[in-house]
Amino acid sequence: MNNNILKKSWNEKYSIVKKQIENMKSIKSVATAFNTNIDAIYKVNGRSLEQLVKQYNVSLDGVENSTLKDVATPSDIIKGIVKCFSRGIAEEWIIEDIEIYNWLDKNIGYERLQMGGQGGIIANALALLRIQKVIAHTNSLPEIQAKQFLDLDNLLSFDENGELKKASSISRNNDLPLIHWIIEFDKGDEFTIDGKNYKCPKSNRFIATYDPMNMNLVMDENFISYVNNNPIDFLILSGFNPLLESNNGLGLIGNAVDVLKKWKKTNEGMIIHLEVASTQDKVIRKAIVDKLIPLSHSIGLNERETIDVLEVMGEETLAKEIENETSACNLYKAIMHIMKKINPSRIQLHMFGLYLTIQQKDFKYTPEMNLKGMISASVVSSSKALNGELSEFSHTQKALGYEVSDIGLNELINLSNMLNKPELLENGVCEIDGYMVSAIPTILIDKPKTLVGMGDTISSVSLLGGW
C-alpha cells in the first residue's frame, strides 16, 4: 500500500470518534486519585532565561545532564529550566523549602492558573466527556482550587463535612492552595552564554513543585470510604510522583497499597489504571513498579517514563538504547519486556505521533475497543493542544478532521516491518507471543497551545473511549 492510501485509510478510521464519545455517556462512575493541585503557567523565552542565568550567576557546566532533583536554591530552578529547555524534555523537580516557592511567586510569577495533577486533569476531561459520575480525590480544596474544576454537575468531590458535592462549588477555606510552577518553552527558541548556544529542540516544560499535601500523599478519608461503599467502574490512579525516599515515601506507598487492596476487595469489578508519571526519585519509582503496578490492571506511560521504568528494573542497556534512539521499534521492545516481566492486563505507551498498547488476550477491554479508545484519545488530546484547554464540550472534538501525522505513520510502518505484521499497519491490531498489540498514528498539532496534561488526557480517554 502506498503512503497516501495508507494515510487516507487511517484518516477514515477516525470517523468513529463522535460515536465513541457519545458512548462514553453510558459509563456510570469513575474515581480519580490522588493528586489534584493548581498549575501556575509561565512561558519562558530564551532571552529571559539568559537574563536569569546572568542575574543569579548560574554555572551551566554540565547542566544538560544534571541529575539534581531536590531544589535547594533559586539557581537550581534556573538549572532545571535550562536542562529541559536545551534538551526539549519534561522534568518535575521537588521543592521542600517554602522560601524557594516564595522566590518563584515573587520573581517568576505566572500568566494563568489551571487544573493540575493527573487526578484533577483527568477528572475534568472525563466529566466534560459526560461520564455519568466523576469523583475526584482532593486533599486540599480551597476556593482557588475548586475554581479549577469545571462547572459540571457530574464532577464531584467532598466538602469539609465529608459530603459529596459538585466539586467546583466547594470551598474548604482552611485548606492550603497547592501551586506547582509549570515553566513552558518553545521549540526553536535559543540563547547564548559564554559563547555556548542553547537551542530548544522541542516545545516542553519544566515543573517546580512545592506541595506539602501531595508530597505526603495525604488522603481524604471520605473519598476512601466512598470507594469502599459504592460501585465504581474505573479508578484512575496516580500521584506517587512527588514522593521522596527521604520523606518517608516508601511508608506512604505502603499506606496506599493497603487502601488499594481494600478497594479491590470491596469493588471487585473496578478496573484500575495507574498513570506512572515522571517520578524522579528512583527508590520511589522502583516501589511504584514493584508494589503498585501489580495491583493495577492497566498502566500508562510516555517515552521518558518507559525509559525510567526500565532503569529501575535493571535494564539499563535497553534504557540507553531507547535514550539514543527513541523510536516506536525500540519502545515496543521495552513495553513487551515490561509486559512479560510484570504481567499487567494492559500497558499503554503514548509517544510523539504514535500510541501503542500491549494487552493480555483475555482482558475484557478488547484490542478493538482499545483501538477505538486510542483514536478518540488522539482527537481529544490534539483538540486540547489546538485549543489550549478543554473547558467546553465542543472543544473536545476541535481537531476532528485533521490528518494523522507522517511522523506517526512512519513509526507505525517501521514497527510493522520489524514485527513482520502487515495487519498492524493496515488495521492497527496484531498478535505476538500470545499478546495482543494495537497501535495508531496520531494527529499532531504543529504549534500546540498547551502540553501539560496531554499524557493524562490520552491515557484516560484511551481507556474509557472504546466502550
Q: In this complex, which beta carbon is closest to ligand GLC, that of residue 29 or of residue 214?
A: 214
344 lies in the binding site for ligand GLC (CB under 6 A):
no
Q: Return the biggest CA–CA distance within the chain.
A: 63
Can you tell me which of 118, 168, 327, 357 binds ligand GLC, judged by CB under 6 A? 118
As measured in angstroms, the least distance from the Cβ of 144 to ligand GLC is: 15
Amino acid at 61: D
- The single-letter code of the amino acid at 441 is P
Task: Pick one of 116, 344, 353, 367: the residue that binds ligand GLC (CB under 6 A).
Answer: 116
Closer CB to ligand GLC, residue 34 or residue 191?
A: 34
359 scored as a contact of ligand GLC (CB under 6 A)? no
Smallest gap from Cβ 242 to ligand GLC, in A, equals 6
Which residue in 92, 175, 303, 411 binds ligand GLC (CB under 6 A)?
92
Binding ligand GLC (rule: CB under 6 A), the pick from 91, 233, 315, 456 is 456
Nearer to ligand GLC, 209 or 396 (CB): 209
Smallest separation (angstroms) from ligand GLC to the CB of 214: 7
User: Of the ranges 114-122, 281-289, 343-351, 376-384, which one interacts with ligand GLC (CB under 6 A)?
Assistant: 114-122
C-alpha cell at 388: 489550549
Nearer to ligand GLC, 238 or 378 (CB): 238
- Answer for which of 46, 74, 117, 249 binds ligand GLC (CB under 6 A) is 117
Give the binding range for ligand GLC (CB under 6 A) out of 97-105, 190-198, 375-383, 449-457: 449-457
Three-state SS string over the chain comes to CCHHHHHHHHHHHHHHHHHHHHHHHHCCEEEEECCCEEEEEEECCHHHHHHHHHHCCCCCCCHHHCCCCEECCHHHHHHHHHHHHHHCCCEEEEECCHHHHHHHHHHHCCCEEEEECHHHHHHHHHHHCCCCEEEECCCCCCHHHHCCCCCCCCEEEECCCCCEEEHHHCCCCCCCCCEEEEEEECCCCEEEECCEEEECCCCEEEEEECCHHHHCCCCCHHHHHHHHHCCCCEEEECCCCCCCHHHCHHHHHHHHHHHHHHHHHHCCCCEEEEECCCCCCHHHHHHHHHHHHHHCCEEEEEHHHHHHHHHHCCCHHHHHHHHHCCCHHHHHHHHHHHHHHHCCCEEEEEECCEEEEEEECCCCCCHHHHHHHHHHHHHHHHHHHHHCCCCCHHHHHCCCCCCCCHHHHHHHHHHHHHHCCHHHHHHCEEEECCEEEEEEECCCCCCCCCCCCHHHHHHHHHHHCCC
Region 123-182 residues binding ligand GLC, contact defined as CB under 6 A: 180
Closest residue to ligand GLC, Cβ-based?
116
Q: Least distance from C-beta 453 to ligand GLC, angstroms?
A: 5
- Interface residue with ligand GLC among 77, 309, 425, 452 (CB under 6 A) is 452
Among 80, 249, 453, 466, binds ligand GLC (CB under 6 A): 453
How far apart, in whole angstroms, are the C-alpha atoms of residue 109 and residue 96?
A: 19
Residues 6-35 interacting with ligand GLC (rule: CB under 6 A): 35
State the nearest-atom distance from the C-beta of 202 to ligand GLC, in Å.
17
The one among 145, 154, 241, 396 contacting ligand GLC by CB under 6 A: 241
Cell 529571559 -> residue: 48
Q: Is 315 a binder of ligand GLC (CB under 6 A)? A: no
Minimum Å gap between C-beta 344 and ligand GLC is 21
Q: Pick the stretch among 113-121, 244-252, 396-404, 441-449 that binds ligand GLC (CB under 6 A).
A: 113-121
Residue closer to ligand GLC, measured from CB, 453 or 466: 453
**Contact residues for ligand GLC (CB under 6 A)?**
35, 37, 39, 92, 116-118, 121, 180, 207, 209, 241, 277, 452-453, 456
